[in-house]
Chains A and B, each alone.
Chain A
Amino acid sequence: MVQGRDERVAADPLREALSALVDGEADAAAAGDGVSQWRDDEDAKATWHAYQLIGDVLRSEDLAGGHRDRVFLQRMHARLIKEPALLAPAPDLPQAAPAAHGGVLHRWAVPVGLAAGVALVLGTLLVVRQGPGADGAVLADAKPVLSLQPPVELVAVAGSSSSPVLLRDPRLDRYLAAHKQFQSANAMGPSTGFIRSATYDAATR
């Protein structure tokens, strides 16, 4: 009889936090810690997978696979790293206000390849369409549009140590300054009103 088997489960605050994250019963800081744990630790990846698989199997035994899950994730990872970064404002980035800082921001020429990459990001953001009804029930393919002419002089805004460097086009900065909702620390990302009003006119479809 394996009574008291749970006594063999050692207290493990990190894994217990991961378990709470499985259930969404954590705060934002703990969620960040959990993701970092998953990112940095192979065992944490295996644990997250095992915890999720347990839930699936409890609800339905025909989800008891999990053998090809690792392969699936590796393929997804290869595709995801090619995607342009999701352009959502991060609260810990310094505000980019070129006029106010009077020359403090450093400008330097950026290779055309990188400029094209940024153009791709901007183009992707600006042409994504909002279908009828909420939450993208009708999805359009986000076709990248090269909206900038290379060479473009880009401003590199140094992020804090925990966030990546954000490259900005001065024209985008002026546009964003005019649309305050993008500048504010909005945890939900850019409002769809901003996206809709940016350059896309639904009437011209």
Chain B
Amino acid sequence: MSSTDPDALLVDRVKRGDMHAFEMLVVKYQRRIQRLVARMVRDTEQVEDIAQETFIRAYRALPQFRGESAFYTWLYRIAVNTAKKTLMDMKRDPVVTESALASRGDSNETSSLENELSTTETPEAVLASREIAQTVNAAIEALPDDLRQAIVLREIEGLAYEEIASLMNCPIGTVRSRIFRAREAIAQRLRPLLGTKPGERW
């Protein structure tokens, strides 16, 4: 299974009671899940709540996950179901529906712009995201060709190390090393942008 689903190792550990392994999967997928939910749910304050609910449901249901699909496929389905359930519950609640309708119906230009941006997408956050994207792109371009090729084949083409080794005509150990060095070179530029403020910790 580990050759097909990169998450299999961590999922196995979660099944044996390792909560930290699950947290590592949360860090991996939280952005994708929130983006997915944000496409379905207009109320941006609920996006994070629904994403959190998705992960809790996945955690509880993990004993029954048998790896017949990739972990992320399974998680994706849970996210969609959780968002749908929230939407259905909202429709049944007349108070919620009224206030949601009120904000959507407002034709004032300022507030419609506020509706476009989520509560997390303040102008500062938008600029910071742009800076992160630019930093990653610049770092990728600055990489030596072999490192860039390795990380692109892995992250964008989704190839396994063995396949990359075959394509790049080098040992698997070299693939592992190149991908690591590419990541570290990019991460070195990113760390100041993502840096923890004093007193802040994971």
Contacts and interface: CB of A to CB of B under 8 A. Distances in A.
Chain A bound to chain B: yes
Interface of A: 2-6, 8-9, 12, 15-16, 19-26, 28, 31-32, 35, 38-39, 42, 45-59, 61-70, 72-77, 79-81, 83, 85-88, 90, 124-125, 128, 130, 134-139, 142, 164, 187-190, 192, 195
B132 A85 contact: no
Contacts of A73: 23, 26-27, 30, 202
Interface stretch (B91-99, B102-110, B175-183): B175-183
B13 A23 contact: no
| Residue from the set A32, A66, A83 with the largest chain B CB neighbour count within 10 Å | A66
Interface residues of B, number: 88
B6 A50 contact: no
Contacts of A74: 202
Contacts of B37: none
Contact of A86 (B17, B125, B179, B201): B17
Nearest to B143: A6
Chain A facing B: main interface SS: helix
A72 B52 contact: yes
A136 B65 contact: yes
Contact of A57 (B64, B67, B136, B181): B136
B56 A79 contact: yes
Interface string B143-181: 110010001101110001100000000000000110111
A75 B52 contact: yes
20 contacts: A5-B185, A6-B144, A19-B180, A38-B24, A46-B191, A54-B187, A57-B133, A63-B32, A64-B136, A66-B31, A79-B52, A85-B17, A86-B63, A87-B17, A136-B61, A136-B74, A142-B61, A187-B12, A189-B15, A189-B16
Contact of A135 (B20, B22, B26, B74): B74
B152 A86 contact: no
B9 A80 contact: no
Contact of A46 (B18, B28, B143, B194): B194
Contacts of A38: 20, 23-24
Given A55-B155, A67-B120, 15 more contacts: A5-B143, A8-B188, A12-B184, A16-B176, A24-B6, A31-B10, A35-B10, A35-B21, A49-B194, A63-B31, A66-B31, A67-B128, A73-B27, A75-B52, A86-B62
A97 B51 CA distance: 42
A109 to B, nearest CB: 25
B63 A50 contact: no
A178 to B, nearest CB: 20
B22 A80 contact: yes
Interface in B106-128: 120, 125, 128
**10 cross-chain pairs, A with B, having the tightest CB-CB distances, nearest first:** A24-B6, A45-B202, A31-B9, A19-B180, A64-B133, A50-B187, A61-B133, A189-B15, A16-B180, A64-B129
